[in-house]
Structures are given as C-alpha cells and as structure tokens.
Structure 1
Amino acid sequence: MFTYDKEKIKETFKKDIFPVLTERIRNAINKINNNGYVEIEEIRLRTNKPLMVYKNNEGYFVDEFGNLRKDNGLIVYQEEISKIYLLMCDYSLYSMEEDIKQGFLTIKGGHRVGIVGKVVSEAGKIKTIKNISSLNIRIAKEVKGCALELVKNIYFDGVKHTLIVSPPGCGKTTILRDIVRLLSNGVDQINLKGKKVAVVDERSEIACCYMGIPQKDVGIRTDVLDSCPKADGLMMLVRSMSPDVIAVDEIGGIKDADAIMDAINTGVKIISTAHGRDFDEILKRSGIRKLLENNCIDIIVFLSNRHGPGTVENIMRIN
C-alpha cells in the first residue's frame, strides 16, 4: 500500500494541474473539503457533462462548491475544454502533434492527458485529433521507496527477469518506476550495486517525460527512450546504451515477446508490467505465454488494490 506525501502532491497541483484548468473548474476542485484533491487520481472533463474526479478507483461528480456527489455536478462547456486543451499544448498544437495522434498529451510534471475527439486519417493512418470533446487528466504520483521491500525480497541474489501484474489502478507503473530508481541508485541493504538501467517509455508513464526530460526520479544511472514503441526501443537501447536492465510497461503481444527475447539474448535483464488479475488470465496473452515457454520470466509479482494501490498479493518464482 502506498503512502503519499500530501504536501508534495498539493504543490504538484498548484504548479502543474491548476495552471492548465479554467478558473471555474480550478476553483471547484480546489474547494474539495480538507484539501481532498490531493487524493485525486484522474480528472475527467467531458463536453456538456458534469466534472468528474476519481479517487481510490471510485468516480465522483464535483459541484461548484467542491462537494463530491454521486449525481449532478458542475457542467463542463465546450469552450472550457478548448481553452484547457490549448493551455496544455502551450498554444502550439504543432509541437504536440506526435503525441496527439496517439491520443494523449504529457504536460509539465509528467502528467498524462487522454484526449478524445474527431480523428483525422490520411492514407489509412491517424494524422491528428481535432474537435476535442473529452480530456482525462491522470495525476502522476511518485512514491519513493514503495518498492524497497519487494526489491530486497526478490533481488537479494541478483536482478532477475520480472513481470509485474495487476488490474488497472493498482500501482504497477508506480512500483516499476521505483524499482528502476532503486536498481539505478543501488540498494545498500542487499549489497546491490547501481545498475545501468534503460527505460522504453512508450506512453510516457514511467519516467513521465516532458519535452524529453524525466519529471520523476528514475535514478542516476537511468536512460529513458520516451514515446517509442517497445519492440523498436528495446534493441535501440541494447545497441546504443549497453544497459544491464531494461524496463518496459504493459507488454502482451507476440511482437513485444520477440523483442524481449532478442534483448535477453544479449544478456540484459528485463523488468516489465502487464494487465491481469491472476496467472490464468495472463496466460491468455500470447506474448506472455511465449515468454514463459522460453524461460524469459523468472518472477511474477501480482498486485491488487485490496489494501490500497501497491498491495502485493503474491510473488511467483518461475525459474
């Protein structure tokens, strides 16, 4: 279970989140009782629908007085979404076009914003998204030390190929980020020296890069390849950065598995995550099944939200 630094999160909202919101929406969220906004995981803005926030995987409507409700709330207008979208892009849609065509933006502080609207295609490929109708602001929260006990438990005799599994919202990316930081810096408690770590951050969620620079602490020996497809990025990093460890998020397909196997054959250790609730569920993923069949996963860590995000339910040692 994670323990968040509330003062740090309050500062994050003031520096990163509130400046890109319109005054009416910002004021409503700021009025949530007892600085309750620090617990927010997502802010959902939909055209002509009530403002919503998600806390502990549960959604609430927010009214103009900051009350959290199960029905009704402050209506978000199209002009507000348009203004917020431009603020997030720093009034330069062109500079964000590569992210936009993938359906998200990364704003200052490393917070990821999902975008929905009219998709414009050209020659069968997505060119951009316009007429934005919905925005989903996912608050990137850093929890340093949350993976220390896990790292001491599974890497006391060296780093191993590791898969972290959980349903959405249970902390697997937060755990992965802290594992990267710990391996990069070294862990004195188990005499683990700092490793050269590389991250293929396809969705900008691990290091939370903004303008190519990690906004979260991923360690002093870590290199990040941001917004790069995993299958391409794995071998790019092997060839260019000679890492000891590579971390990737949300694997599952055969293409991911083939790239991971190629990297492992060079001597690199792979730490990855995947969506799933249990072993039977992840076996349905063709890529993960192939990795298991080829002895490319040594340890599987299963997380849940039972006692809050980051609850370790089970550690399965495969090899």
Structure 2
Amino acid sequence: MGVPMVEAEQKNVVRVHERFPEEFARLMERLPPWVRVEVEGHRDSLDEIVLDLGKPLIYTAGDQVYVLEGRTVTKDDLSYLTHRLGGFKENNRAGLEGTLHRVSRIQDAYGETVGVTIRVGRFVLGVAEALRPWLEQTGSLLVVGPPRTGKTTLLRDIVRILAGRYGPRVAVVDTSNEIGGDGKLTHPGISPARRLQVPDPPSKNQGWVIYQAIANHSPEVVVADEIGYNEDVFQCLTASRRGVRVVATAHGETILDLLENPVLLPILGDPGEGRRRSRPSFAMCLEVRGKGKFVLYPDFAEALDTLLTGGEPEGLRLGRWD
C-alpha cells in the first residue's frame, strides 16, 4: 500500500513528559553501580539495557547500540539487580511500582537467572495530540502497526486525552502492564482512567477482563492493547454492539494485514468475496508507520470497501513526517 496523498495540518507538540523525573532515578538505584555509571549519561535517550551472564554490557540509546568491552556481567551483578527488584513473577517479569520500566529475565535449565532485559519506559506527552479532533468525537479506533514503532506509547497518550474528557469512565485493560506500568499503583500519567490488569497467560484471560470492564464498571471507553485472540475479538464486537467505544491495537503494518488475519475478520465486518457482510466494530483505523508517523482512515468502513474492491484507500497523514 502506498503512502496516502492527503496530509492533515497539525502542530509539532511531541515532547518528553517531565512530570515524573524521579522514575529514571528509581531505575538507576536498582542497577549494579558500574552499569549505572555507564548508562546514566543517556538519561533522555536510553531505551534498553541487556545483561547476559559472562558477556559485556549492551545498551541502546536512541538509534545507537553500545557494547562495553573489557568487563563482563557476573552472577553477583544479576543477584544485585534481582534483590533490589524484589524478585520476578511467574512470567519472568518485574516492574517498579508506579513507573513504566519493565525488567524481564532469562533462566537456565536449572531455574537460575542468566540474563536480564530492561526496557526503559517513558510517558511521552503530546504524541497523540494530532488525533485529538477525532478522539473527541464518538466512534471506536483500531490502531495497527509493527513492533517497536511506538504503538503502546501512543496508546498511553490516547488514554490521557480520553481520560481528560471521560475521567474514570475510561477503562484500560492492561494486557502486559505496559500501559499503566507494573505493580498495584497505576502510572499517574493515565489518571483518572481506571486500569484492569490481565493475569497470565493473556491469551486465556484478556477477553474475560474486557468483559468484566464492560459488565461491571460501566465505561464510556475501553482501551486494550494487542487484541488477536478469538475471545478478545468477540468482546470488542460485543462492546461495539452495546454502544461502548473501544480503542485497541493489533499487529500488522497496514489495513491489508488485518484483512489477511482470519481471527480479526469479525470486527472488520466479516469481509469475503469482495464485500463486507456487516459494519466493522471500529469507526476509524490508524496505521502507525514509524515513531511519530501516522496515517488515519476516519471512515474505516469506506477504507475496507476500497481495499476489498482492489483499490487503495486514501488516508490522512498525521504526526512528524519530516
């Protein structure tokens, strides 16, 4: 699918959220001292830290990968980190209460920790501002994009905008605790939205939690990350028929990828033989083409029909394409 020719006018408002400066310091406190010294100078761009037993420290800042030769990670380094995190859950993840950082471990055949991946989480204010005119309208939104293009970062800021209007009647179904952070306390950036955490494994529980959100808490909007199982899809379909707005993400690069995923077809209007059998569950669709680059299809049904008849839908380019 080519790049759409229509471009919407908007202001460049993307900036790092500065209301939570203590979050980075809380992460640094958990790291072995020599690792902390190496990475803390990259405060504004640090993205990921990799600690593997017997190997050098590797970390990513911005688009650059750094390998610290001359020193290797030891069992003491991994124990130091684990002790200060308070241990890991059954899914081999740990988080810091009230932050967006995520720590995942690798175990050997005997259950001992031999590697750790640390994802540095940040709340980015304004990344979804270009969508505000459409978010303030009624209608559900489906966000599609490949991994590491900022879908979850975008989703957090969408929640912020929606919560500013609907308050606690925005219910976030947090599949892997990446929207509101790990722990019992939800990250303050998405308040006053309410967050429902999903037990592991999410493939068996996310749809049930979406159902609970709708049935028990009377939300105006339900937000879910990474739908892709039959039960998820069924509950999103049910929500749309009950008048509850849904904002959700799905894997893929374009709308065409959604059409080629048989699990998602019910929420796309059950397309087949060049036409839809019903209306889609989502009024709008957003393709994430890269960090800060979006293509919005305000009329998702029309875009689907165009694709099904062999055409190429025209969308609005939003964000930072320069």
**Shared fold per TM-score greater than 0.5:** yes
Residue by residue over 1:196-241, the C-alpha shift from the partner in whole angstroms, topping out at 9 and shown as x without a partner, is: 100110200011142x111241132x11112343211111111221
Rounded Cα–Cα distance in structure 2 between residues aligned with 1:119 and 1:147: 43
> Is the 1:254–1:290 Cα contact (8 Å) retained in structure 2?
no
The question of 1:258 aligning with 2:226 is answered no
- Residues 133-152 of structure 1: matches in 2 within 5 Å? 133-152=114-133
The question of 1:12 aligning with 2:23 is answered yes
Match of 2:135 among 155, 179, 186: 155
Residue 78 of structure 1 deviates from its aligned partner by 2.2
Is the partner of 1:38 in helix, strand or coil? coil
> Is the 1:209–1:226 Cα contact (8 Å) retained in structure 2?
no
**Cα pair distance change 1:119/1:274, threshold 3 Å:** farther
Residue 73 of structure 1 deviates from its aligned partner by 5.8
Residue 9 of structure 1 deviates from its aligned partner by 7.3
> Is the 2:100–2:122 Cα contact (8 Å) retained in structure 1?
no
Rounded Cα–Cα distance in structure 2 between residues aligned with 1:133 and 1:316: 47
Rounded Cα–Cα distance in structure 2 between residues aligned with 1:113 and 1:143: 20
The question of 1:227 aligning with 2:198 is answered yes
> Is the 1:251–1:287 Cα contact (8 Å) retained in structure 2?
no
Matched length: 275
Q: What amino acid is aligned across from residue 304 of structure 1 in structure 2?
A: R
Who is 1:311 aligned against? 293
> Is the 2:220–2:244 Cα contact (8 Å) retained in structure 1?
yes
Residue 103 of structure 1 deviates from its aligned partner by 2.9
Q: Which sections of structure 1, spanning at least 5 residues, go unmatched?
A: 64-71, 121-129, 187-192
Rounded Cα–Cα distance in structure 1 between residues aligned with 2:258 and 2:70: 39
Who is 1:247 aligned against? 223
Match of 1:110 among 100, 120, 124: 100
The question of 1:206 aligning with 2:182 is answered no
- Residues 53-72 of structure 1: matches in 2 within 5 Å? 53-56=59-62, 58-61=64-67, 63=68, 72=69
Rounded Cα–Cα distance in structure 1 between residues aligned with 2:90 and 2:108: 11
The question of 1:22 aligning with 2:1 is answered no
> Is the 1:255–1:287 Cα contact (8 Å) retained in structure 2?
no
Q: Which sections of structure 2, spanning at least 5 residues, go unmatched?
A: 1-11, 200-204, 271-279, 302-322
**Cα pair distance change 1:43/1:318, threshold 3 Å:** same
> Is the 1:2–1:310 Cα contact (8 Å) retained in structure 2?
no
Q: Which has the higher contact order (CA 8 A, sep 6+)?
A: 2
Q: What do you get for the CA RMSD once the two structures are aligned? A: 2.4
Match of 2:146 among 167, 173, 197: 167
Residue by residue over 1:74-103, the C-alpha shift from the partner in whole angstroms, topping out at 9 and shown as x without a partner, is: 4211221122112112xxx4xx5xxx2223
> Is the 2:172–2:195 Cα contact (8 Å) retained in structure 1?
yes
Is the partner of 1:110 in helix, strand or coil? coil
Residue 256 of structure 1 deviates from its aligned partner by 1.5
Q: What amino acid is aligned across from residue 249 of structure 2 in structure 1?
A: T
Rounded Cα–Cα distance in structure 2 between residues aligned with 1:312 and 1:274: 15
Match of 1:177 among 136, 148, 156: 156
Rounded Cα–Cα distance in structure 2 between residues aligned with 1:138 and 1:82: 18
